[in-house]
């Protein structure tokens, strides 16, 4: 018959290490999720900047530019 705490100290140590590892993994996942959401979130002025660049390059006329700018300001 084995003593009551034959693996007591080792089991406690590994349980403690597992708990720390799980906490670190959860924190890492939360940070990763938040960072990817921030990076992938488009800027609010991105569409207006694209419109201004297209107008500056001459891809659209002044009338088209003004119409698109009004459309963007409504949203």
Structure tokens at 8: 């007591």
Same domain, 1 and 37: yes
Burial per residue of 16-30, b for 16 or more beta-carbon CB atoms within 10 angstroms, e otherwise: eeeeeeeeeeeeeee
Same domain, 69 and 37: no
Same domain, 37 and 47: no
Q: What is the pLDDT of residues 34-57, one digit of tens each?
A: 888 776 666 667 888 999 999 999
Averaged pLDDT, 9-34: 90
CA distance linking residue 32 with residue 29, whole number of Å? 5
Q: How remote is the C-alpha of 5 from its chain's centroid?
A: 46
| Predicted TM-score (pTM) of this structure | 0.45
Looking at the predicted structure, is the pLDDT value of residue 5 above 70? Answer: no
What total of structural domains would you count in the chain?
Answer: 2
Same domain, 61 and 75: yes
Tell me the percentage of the chain whose pLDDT exceeds 70: 79
**Contact in structure between 43 and 36 (CB atoms under 8 Å):** no
The whole domain housing 75 covers 43-75
């Amino acid at each position: 018959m084995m003593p009551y705490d034959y693996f007591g100290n080792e089991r406690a140590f590994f349980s403690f290490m597992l708990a720390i590892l799980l906490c670190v993994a959860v924190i890492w996942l939360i940070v990763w999720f938040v960072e990817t959401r921030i990076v992938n979130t488009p800027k609010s002025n991105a569409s207006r900047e694209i419109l201004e660049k297209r107008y500056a390059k001459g891809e659209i006329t002044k009338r088209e530019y003004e119409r698109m700018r009004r459309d963007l300001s409504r949203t």
